[in-house]
């Protein structure tokens, strides 16, 4: 297959969206995401920023038009902003090597105050910020870090810099379900979008996810009793389905990997910080891109590896949280795969 031929999987889905993890490390320890004493990868196993840049260019040449940098927490990686600047130069490129339509970032917000202006200057226009509570004590319990003031400062900096912000909130029974409406209203009041996400069964954690699994159909029903929700045709290329909230004037997204499978239109692939391509967040199908990059023929080996990824990408994931004490759907943590 030509190195410039678009990426199309066996189900004839055009793959245009890459989520690239730059690190598995994070400065928070969210209880539903990882254990308190998380073991992170040795730095020698992680791709260099130059390798990540080369990898991204290979994807762009094959038709990737949207690139989201993730982690762990991407902004904890030293000199990561240099990668953002280099990739930002591919936005709108018309040099025959392919160009990006959008470069985005998912962050926990703890370092946004430092980097918001740099991200905007590098070409990032929109970011996702993970925030599950506006209560400082609840935040400290959930993330095991007292960092809510830094996150709020970072959000203010992002807003001031002109970045569009979408808050991502994992709905958690018994933890934040009582304040979900308040979080959405606050986000809309700040001019931010808000997206709610069902907890995903990835990796072993200290608590049982069944105890905190909150189906978004129940959340949506509760919000519909408070507000007028109208279906929105807005799409970002991700899995969220959107609603316009008349009373707040804002937009609400719902990501439902457990109660409403959204895989039929999947256009995404994920690459870990070690260069492992996962064709599906909910599967173990993977291709080693690090080996391709470090081979004698990086360009040819990378193109062949991407062809393999298209052949093994499954039709859908099979996430489920059906009972207490069940093992997670996959052993790897979300911080390993990239959000």
pLDDT (tens digit per residue) in 259-308: 555 556 678 899 999 999 998 866 678 899 999 999 999 999 999 999 99
Alpha carbon distance 89, 170 (integer Å) = 33
280 is in an annotated binding site: yes
Distances (CA, A) of 337 to 47, 65, 98, 230, 284: 14, 20, 26, 33, 11
Candidate from 41-45, 264-268, 309-313 with smallest mean pLDDT: 264-268
Q: Over pLDDT 70: what percentage of the chain?
A: 83
pLDDT (tens digit per residue) in 69-102: 999 999 999 999 999 999 999 998 766 666 899 9
37 is in an annotated binding site: no
Question: What are residue 160's DSSP bridge partners?
Answer: none
32 is in an annotated binding site: yes
Question: What are residue 195's DSSP bridge partners?
Answer: 168, 253
Residue 240 has pLDDT above 70, yes or no: yes
266 is in an annotated binding site: yes
80 is in an annotated binding site: no
Q: For position 265, what pLDDT does the model report?
A: 67
120 is in an annotated binding site: no
Alpha carbon distance 101, 90 (integer Å) = 9
248 is in an annotated binding site: no
Alpha carbon distance 106, 49 (integer Å) = 17
147 is in an annotated binding site: no
Hey, what domains does the chain have and what are their CATH numbers? Answer: 17-337 (3.20.20.70)
19 is in an annotated binding site: yes
The whole-angstrom distance between residue 201's C-alpha and the CA centroid of its chain comes to: 15
Helical segments of the chain, H only: 49-61, 80-88, 112-122, 136-143, 148-161, 180-189, 209-212, 216-226, 289-293, 298-312, 334-337
30 is in an annotated binding site: yes
Sign of the alpha-carbon torsion through 154, 155, 158, 160: negative
Q: Are 257 and 282 in contact (CB under 8 A)?
A: yes
pLDDT (tens digit per residue) in 175-219: 999 999 999 999 999 999 999 998 865 444 446 555 778 889 899
33 is in an annotated binding site: yes
Q: For position 139, what pLDDT does the model report?
A: 97
23 is in an annotated binding site: no
């Amino acid at each position: 297959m030509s190195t410039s031929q678009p990426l199309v999987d066996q189900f004839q889905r055009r793959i245009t969206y890459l989520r690239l993890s730059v690190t598995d490390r994070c400065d928070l320890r969210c209880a539903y995401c990882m254990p308190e004493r998380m073991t992170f990868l040795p730095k020698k196993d992680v791709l260099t920023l130059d390798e990540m840049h080369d990898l991204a260019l290979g994807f762009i040449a094959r038709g990737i038009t949207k690139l989201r940098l993730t982690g762990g927490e991407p902004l904890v990686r030293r000199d990561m902003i240099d990668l953002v600047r280099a990739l930002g130069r591919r936005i709108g490129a018309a040099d025959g090597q392919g160009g990006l339509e959008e470069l985005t970032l998912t962050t926990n917000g703890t370092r946004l105050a430092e980097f918001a202006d740099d991200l905007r200057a590098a070409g990032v226009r929109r970011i996702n910020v993970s925030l599950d509570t506006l209560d400082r004590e609840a935040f400290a319990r959930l993330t095991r870090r007292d960092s809510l003031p830094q996150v709020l400062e970072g959000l203010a900096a992002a807003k001031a810099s002109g970045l569009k912000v979408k808050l991502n909130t994992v709905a958690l029974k018994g933890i934040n379900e009582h304040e979900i409406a308040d979080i959405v209203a606050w986000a809309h009041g700040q001019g931010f979008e808000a997206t709610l996400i069902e907890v995903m069964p990835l990796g072993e954690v200290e608590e049982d996810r069944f105890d905190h699994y909150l189906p978004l159909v129940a959340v949506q029903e509760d919000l519909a009793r408070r507000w007028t929700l109208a279906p929105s045709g807005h799409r970002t290329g991700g899995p969220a389905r959107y609603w316009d909230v008349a009373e707040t004037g804002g937009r609400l997204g719902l990501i439902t990997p457990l109660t409403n499978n959204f895989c039929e239109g999947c256009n995404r692939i994920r690459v870990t910080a070690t260069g492992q391509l996962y064709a599906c967040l909910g599967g173990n199908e993977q291709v080693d891109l690090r080996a391709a990059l470090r081979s004698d023929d990086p360009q040819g080996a990378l193109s062949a590896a991407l062809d393999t990824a298209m052949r093994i990408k499954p039709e859908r994931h099979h996430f489920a949280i059906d009972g207490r004490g069940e093992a997670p759907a996959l052993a790897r943590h979300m911080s390993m795969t990239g959000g």
